[in-house]
Amino acid sequence: MSLEHAPQRQQKQVAPRGSFTIDEWCERHRISRSFWYKLKKAKLTPATMNLNGVQRISVRADAAWTREREKASRN
């Protein structure tokens, strides 16, 4: 089957907002929750905040994390 005839996969879109849950953030970056824990163990996750017992990642922390990972990749 050629790619032009392959069915399109529906991807769930995460609406932009002020912060993400861990699951939303993982989906946004296409990583598994288990890989999140590997990153956390290596102290490579973005900063989180606790809102009523729910860990959230702000859009600003996500952007900072992305810049840090890009910078680390260049070195």
Does the CA dihedral 10-64-75-39 come out positive or negative?
A: negative
Residue 23: closest CA among 11, 9, 37? 37
Per-residue pLDDT of the chain (75 residues; tens, 9 = 90+): 455 555 555 555 544 578 999 999 999 999 999 999 999 999 999 999 998 899 999 999 999 999 999 999 987
CATH 1.20.120 for domain 17-74, yes or no, is: no
Global pTM reads: 0.73
Domain range list for the chain: 17-74
E strands, 1-48, are 19-21
